Each structure stands twice: as C-alpha cells, then as structure tokens.
Structure 1
Amino acid sequence: MTDNVSLVSGVAKRYASALLDLAEETGVTADVERDLGNFEGFLAESSDLDRLVKSPAFSAEEQLNALTALLDKAQISGLAGNFVKLAARNRRLFVLPDMIKAFRVLLAEKRGEETAEVVSAAELSDDQVTALKEALSASSGKSVNISAKVDPALIGGLVVKVGSRMIDTSLRTKLNSLKFAMKEVG
C-alpha cells in the first residue's frame, strides 16, 4: 500500500526538481523563485484560490482558465506561470503548494542554505527575524532563511524547525507539560 504523503511529496519533488533544472538552464532561477513566492502569497491570502487549487470538484479546464486570468493580472509569466498552468493541466494543482516548498528546499540546498520554519504566537518584527536568522545561522554553520507563520494558539514563544531538528519554546507546550506533571503528582 502506498502512503499518500510520500506519493504527494515524491510528485512535488519531481516537479520541483524539473523546474529548478529548467530554471537554471535558462538562467531565470531568481525570476521563478520570486514569481512562485508571489503566487504562494496569493494562495495564503485567498481562501477562494486555495479552494480552487485543492478541490477536485473543478475541472482542469476551469482551474486553468481561472489561474490564467490570475497569473496575467499578477504579471506572473514565463517559466513560473507555465509551471502553474502545467500543474493545472496535469490535474496536479492540489500538490502545487508542496511543489513550491520542494522547489525552495532544492534551491536552498544548491545554495548551501537551510530554511527554518518558524511558528510564533504573533507576527515577528523585522528585528526579531534578523536576530533569529543570525542565531540559527551561527548554530548551524549555514545561511538560514526564515519561513514564518503565525499561530495564536501557541499563546507565546516559538516553534522552530530546521531540517529534522525542532525547538518548541511555546507557552502552550510548557502549560501542557505542567498539566501533565501535575496529573502525575496528584
């Protein structure tokens, strides 16, 4: 039995690898990186776009038409635009967010960089992001990029994931640990 997660990540990695190879061959890697980042921003901001990308209820043609209009309006063209359209044509649009993430990971590996996924209770300031980058770069010995998300349920603190390492200093986790310890005592 095939695990859906590994299947999806395998598909995402293959598409991302092909995109990176083509971007490098044609010398447009920075443009593709920027355009995919912009598209990812639209996905995060629009629940309708997220639904269009993830829902099998829309036909490939409907997805392609809607995305073509969005890409044109957002001025995302060239290799990145064609990549998004290819994912729609091949009915792989639901994997697109993972493809973009895999592209970033592969590109970072080629550059000798690492990406830290940081979840905080509130949005981090530019100074906090810079300080976190410097601290993580110093500890890993590599240049570290930050992918930040906000989760108010953490109450306070951070959850930082770099590669296979995870550091959880969130108040939610500390409170849960305290609750567990108190149950053991009582």
Structure 2
Amino acid sequence: MFSSVRSAAPTLRRAYAAAPKVSAPVALQTLPGKYATAAFTSALTKSAATLSQVESDLTTLAKLIENKDKAAAFLENPTLGSSERAAAIKGLASKIPKINETTLGLLDVLSANGRLTTTSEVIKDFIVLSKAQKGEVEIIVTSAEPLEKSVSDRLERALKGSETAKGKTVKVVNKVNPELLAGIVVDFGDKTIDLSAASKVNKLNGLLTQSV
C-alpha cells in the first residue's frame, strides 16, 4: 500500500488502512518496484477491474512519456514546487480518459516524496507485476546486434526452462543496443544479468583506475 512507501497523503493512508491485505505476485526490491507494488496491491485490493483500469492508465502515461508529450515533461523536472507539480499532475490527468483515483494517488505520492523522475521505472515494474499476476513473464534480451534465429531459439528454450519461467507463459523480446559491443543483457522483473562485453570493459577500466 502507498503508506508503505511513506506517503505524504494522509487521505490515501486512511482509505487503504481498512482494506484487506493482498500480495503482489513477485517481490520487487528496487525503490521504483516498491512504489509499483504499493499501487498494484492498492488497485487489486479494490477489484480486478480497478487493477485493469490502472494498468490501462499507466500504459497511456508511458506512451505520453515516450512521445515526449508536453503534459508529461514536468516529470523530469525536479525543481518544480509542490503547487506547480500539483497543477502539472492535473493537466497530465486530463490526457488520460477517466483516470482512476489509484493512478492519481500514485502520482501524488511520487510527487510528495520527490520521486516523479522515477515514473517510467515505476510503470515498467507495475506492468511486470500485472503480467506476473496473469501468469506471464516477459524476458528482455538486449544484444549489440539482432540475434540470429538459431541463437535466439536456443536462448529462448533455456530461459523458458528456468525456475523464473516455471509454470508461466514466457515471452522473450530481443532489443538491440550497439553500445553493448558484444554479448547480451537479460532483464526479467527487477533482475538483470549482464553478460555484455561493455560491462566487462567497464569492470576492467575500474580495476585499472584503482590500481593507478
């Protein structure tokens, strides 16, 4: 619940205090993950329909951020005062048809705690939770170049056989980032396995810097 992330909005705390406790399908340990979990459990406590609506709201918000909509620009500006943030949230809400009060509550809490700059990460973690609730797992494999089909197929079989994917519907997505140089980075939930050449180079540079 939002109070678990030190909400500065007492009305939200009162609203959720008497609600029956529900659990998230997976534990997310990062700070954005904790906010996402608070929003997820708050929505699920109300109803499955509320959870679906909040997911829809956040998906729309993610698109606004991705498309650099002016209404979402304030999320990256940590210098705004509380009244300016409140007005900006109201303007942003007008871009999301019939926005749910839980979605607004999440934005208010992020604003009150000075965490609006993490909104995109919170949304990504919320989607992770929502997919897990449906028995779905999205595993993102980032490589320097598009993976060859034979390599992709082998990797997909290995990932689907992992403990994380056990009993779930797995979707493996290949993204390309030339800065990795070689190797891959595997992301699932809030976990990352970095097997890229860039990571090894960075570690080597760090060791060389320490030894000088």
Q: Please, what TM-score do these two structures have when normalized by structure 1? A: 0.60
Structure 2: gaps spanning 5 or more residues: 1-28, 206-212
**Tell me, which stretches of 5 or more residues in structure 1 are unaligned?**
181-186
How has the CA–CA distance of structure 1 residues 149 and 50 changed in structure 2, closer, same or farther, with 3 Å as cutoff? farther
* Equivalent residue in structure 2 for 1:19, among 43, 57, 63: 43
Shift of residue 48 of structure 1?
A: 6.6
Q: Is the 8 A contact 2:82 2:111 kept in 1?
A: yes
Residues 88 and 13 of structure 1: CA distance in aligned 2, closer, same or farther (over 3 Å): closer
Contact 1:35 1:80 survives alignment (8 Å): no
Q: After superposition, where does 1:1-186 map in structure 2 within 5 Å?
A: 9-22=33-46, 25=47, 27-46=49-68, 52-75=74-97, 77-79=99-101, 81-87=103-109, 90-91=112-113, 92-121=115-144, 135=157, 136-137=159-160, 139=162, 140-141=165-166, 142-145=168-171, 150-156=176-182, 158-162=184-188, 164=191, 166=193, 168=195, 170=196, 172=198, 176=201
- Provide the C-alpha distance between the structure 1 equivalents of 2:36 and 2:153, rounded to a whole number of angstroms: 32
CA-atom RMSD in angstroms: 4.3
Instruction: Give secondary structure in 2 for the equivalent of 1:70.
Output: helix
- Letter of the 2:184 counterpart: L
Relative to structure 1, the CA distance from residue 51 to residue 82 in structure 2 (aligned partners, 3 Å threshold; closer, same or farther) is: closer
Q: 8 Å contact 1:44–1:50 — kept in the other structure?
A: no
Cα distance, 1:6–1:160 mapped onto 2, change above 3 Å: closer
Structure ranking higher in helix proportion? 1
